Amino acid sequence: MINKVSRRQQKISDLLDYRSVDLSVSNSCTNNCLFCANRPDGLAFQPDIKKIKAKMRQAVKQGFRIVEFSAMEPTRNPDIFRLAEFARKLGFSIVHIITNGQSLTDIQFARNLILSGVNKITVSLHSSDKKTEAILTRNKKSFDYKIKALKNLTALKKKYNFILEVTMVLTRYNIGHIPKIVLLCRYMGIRALNVYFPRIHGNAKINFKKVVPRFYLIKKNLIGVSRRLPDRVNINYIDIPPCIFPDNKERERVGIRLRKRIVRPSEKSEKLIQQNDDVRQVKIKGERCRDCFYFNECEGVFREYVDAYGWREFTPVQSS
Ligand code: SF4
Q: How far is the CA of 146 from the centre of ligand 1 (A)?
A: 34
Our measurement of the distance from residue 123's CA atom to the centroid of its chain's CA atoms, rounded to an integer in Å, reads 10
Question: Residue 18: what pLDDT?
Answer: 64
Q: Which candidate, 180, 123, 183, 117, places its Cα nearest to that of 151?
A: 123
Q: How far is the CA of 218 from the centre of ligand 1 (A)?
A: 15
The finding on whether 289 has its CB within 6 A of some atom of ligand 1 is yes
Contact 226, 254 (CB under 8 A): no
Tens of pLDDT, residues 239-256: 999 999 887 777 877 776
pTM value is: 0.87
Question: Residue 221: what pLDDT?
Answer: 85
In this prediction, the residues of the chain whose per-residue pLDDT falls under 50 are 1-17, 259, 264-276
Q: How many CB atoms lie within 10 A of CB 143?
A: 22
Question: Residue 259: what pLDDT?
Answer: 46
Strand partners, 95: 67
Cα–Cα dist 26/73, whole Å: 6
C-alpha distances in angstroms, 252 versus 172, 240, 248? 24, 12, 6
Residue partners of 190: CB distance under 8 A and separation at least 6: 150, 154, 164, 165, 166, 233
The finding on whether 47 has its CB within 6 A of some atom of ligand 1 is no
Our measurement of the distance from residue 57's CA atom to the centroid of its chain's CA atoms, rounded to an integer in Å, reads 24
Say if domain 2-283 classifies as CATH 3.40.50.1370. no
Q: How far is the CA of 114 from the centre of ligand 1 (A)?
A: 40
Number of H-type helices and E-type strands within the chain = 14, 10
Q: How far is the CA of 228 from the centre of ligand 1 (A)?
A: 25
Return the ligand 1 atom nearest residue 301 CA.
Answer: 3
Strand partners, 194: 167, 236
Cα–Cα dist 142/148, whole Å: 10
Q: Looking at the chain, how many residues does it have?
A: 320
Question: Residue 280: what pLDDT?
Answer: 67
Q: Which candidate, 101, 89, 84, 112, places its Cα nearest to that of 25?
A: 84
Q: Which candidate, 70, 58, 83, 134, places its Cα nearest to that of 264?
A: 70
Beta strands in 217-303 (DSSP E): 234-238, 259-263, 283-284, 301-302
| Ranges of each domain in the chain | 2-283
Strand partners, 97: 69, 121
The finding on whether 170 has its CB within 6 A of some atom of ligand 1 is no
Return the ligand 1 atom nearest residue 315 CA.
Answer: 7
Question: Residue 278: what pLDDT?
Answer: 61
Cα–Cα dist 132/143, whole Å: 9
Cα–Cα dist 128/150, whole Å: 13
Q: For the purposes of burial, counting CB atoms within 10 Å of the CB of 277, is it exposed (0-12), middle (13-18) or buried (19 or more)?
A: buried
Pairing of strands 283-284, 301-302: antiparallel
Question: Residue 320: what pLDDT?
Answer: 59
Q: How far is the CA of 297 from the centre of ligand 1 (A)?
A: 9
The finding on whether 301 has its CB within 6 A of some atom of ligand 1 is yes
Cα–Cα dist 56/27, whole Å: 18
